[in-house]
Homo-oligomer: A and B are copies of this chain.
Amino acid sequence: MAKEILYRKIASAVEQQIVAQTLKTGDKLPSIRTVQKIYDVSLNTVKQAFLELEGKSLIESRPKSGYYVSKSTGRRLLLPETSKPVLKDKGNHPEDLIIRVFDTMKDKTITQFSLGVPDQSLLPIPKLNKGVLKVIHSMDDSGTGYEPIQGNLNLRRNISRWSFTWGGKLGEQDIVTTSGAMNAIYNCFIAVTKPGDTIALESPVYFGILQIATELGLKIIELPTNPVTGIEIDALKKVLPRIKACCLISNFNNPLGSCMPDEHKKEVVKMLTNYTIPLIEDDLYGDIFFGKKRPAPCKLYDEAGIVMWCGSFSKSLAPGYRVGWVAPGRYKDKIIRQKLLHTISTPPLYQEVIADFMEYGRYDHHLRTLRQKLYTNCLQYQRAIEDYFPENTKITQPQGGFVLWLELEKKIDTAKLFDLAIAQKISFAPGRMFTQHDQFHNCLRLNFALKWDNELDFHLKRLGSMVKLFV
């Protein structure tokens, strides 16, 4: 057979498998060498076949990992539309629902689609443990003493160096370490608001931020948010005269997965600077991008020091370490004072372990692997949801992070669906958790930072069946 026909034969065979969904979105293709052996052809022939499939956007290559089936060729579920916060209809905050969802954490037999926490299998645990052993002996007091209130110097140095990945020019003196990102955000709110102040948030918005704001007696304006580009700039502009602070998850927003385009970020920083309104920027998913480069945070465009850039290692390295940070700009003194009052110091050991992990390139290496796995998971989930959920299901297409947001048929109440699912040992986050208003009842958030296997696929199938029955 001519070489030309040979590679087409291979490409065609793979294409048929994709169309027949034998190979599904997110699946890894056999390696080039394996295919070579199967068809008894040259390496180049296989490469040419794969190139053709790539040209048709049926598969995609990932550096050092191989070829994967890309977006499904079949029907595509629609994206949810830009949110429309129901301004008049202000319900109570769904505290009970949140507690019910959190309570499922205790039961290890439940499949945790609900939490925004990476599965243990995605964490570099043996390497971190090595780091603990190393650091416990290298630290003068093995981490038993207090550290300066601003936080571990090595870690602050490494975080500021790491900010070069998005063009940041931060120094170690610009960073304050915290007990995770929530702790950073809490301290930011305390530092720049007082009870009765009004603040602007995205909608839907991560319920933890809602809870903090409610607790601090703040009035919350939820703003229309697009599942691709994030908060609507014009809507924000209108409320500027009324707000004392703004809090945004700029990159791979939780729960929408949106990522603000650079132009939007610039514009938002400019608008807020004009009014001297602090921006609390929750950038804890920024390093988990599926595209070619890390999106910059709003902090990049912050010349006046109004952006309080918050991050964490909870999503990328070890949630239980409780290590995050904030680069608080002009509010640094207030933040350090808050930290002193609440906890005096953060535990030094874990900070030193993470600093060590970053210093010698292990963090970078780990993130490359993590991103690959999460992207594959994201595609697998999308394929599974296309297969198992009703056709009118809308689904986000995040380019990073690890949550998917689903919009189901209007009449489906996901808080009720949650009870059914829990009975089947499946937990997810009902949409109502993500707003102060009486909406998103037909939405839900799924965590895709779990270990992908047949069982997980089966649980998504089961969840899809429940949705179908529920209609």
How far, in whole Å, are A208 and B145 apart by their CA atoms in the complex?
Answer: 18
Contact assessment for B179 and A343 in the assembled complex, using a CB-CB cutoff below 8 Å: yes
Contact assessment for A179 and B179 in the assembled complex, using a CB-CB cutoff below 8 Å: yes
Give A445 Cβ to nearest chain B Cβ, in Å: 17
Candidates B102, B137, B143, B208; contact of A149 at CB < 8 Å:
B102
A328-364 vs B, Cβ < 8 Å mask (1 yes, 0 no): 0000000000001111111111100000000000000
CB under 8 Å from chain B, chain A span 122-150: 123, 125, 128-129, 132-133, 136-137, 140-149
A211 in contact (CB, < 8 A):
yes
Contact assessment for A320 and B340 in the assembled complex, using a CB-CB cutoff below 8 Å: no
Contacts of A182 in B (CB 8 A): 341-344
Contact assessment for A343 and B146 in the assembled complex, using a CB-CB cutoff below 8 Å: no
Known: A179-B179, A186-B341, A320-B143. A148 touches B350 (CB 8 A): no
Known: A123-B144, A144-B125, A145-B120. A322 touches B341 (CB 8 A): no
A23 in contact (CB, < 8 A):
no
A318 in contact (CB, < 8 A):
yes
A177-207 vs B, Cβ < 8 Å mask (1 yes, 0 no): 0011011001000000001000000000000
How far, in whole Å, are A125 and B140 apart by their CA atoms in the complex?
Answer: 10
A215 in contact (CB, < 8 A):
yes
Known: A145-B120, A320-B145, A322-B345. A132 touches B128 (CB 8 A): no
Contact assessment for B347 and A321 in the assembled complex, using a CB-CB cutoff below 8 Å: yes
Contacts of A318 in B (CB 8 A): 143-145
A97 in contact (CB, < 8 A):
no
A319 in contact (CB, < 8 A):
yes
Give A184 Cβ to nearest chain B Cβ, in Å: 10
Contacts of A117 in B (CB 8 A): 145-146
A75 in contact (CB, < 8 A):
no
CB nearest to A106 among chain B residues: B148
A32 in contact (CB, < 8 A):
no
CB nearest to A212 among chain B residues: B341
Contact assessment for A105 and B320 in the assembled complex, using a CB-CB cutoff below 8 Å: no
Give A206 Cβ to nearest chain B Cβ, in Å: 12
Known: A132-B136, A347-B350. A341 touches B144 (CB 8 A): no
- Supply 5 A–B pairs (Cβ within 8 Å), ascending by A: A125-B144, A143-B321, A144-B317, A211-B340, A322-B347
Instruction: Please name 4 further chain A to chain B contacts, defined as beta carbons within 8 Å, in addition to the given A179-B342, A212-B341, sorted by A numbering.
Output: A120-B144, A144-B319, A208-B344, A322-B347
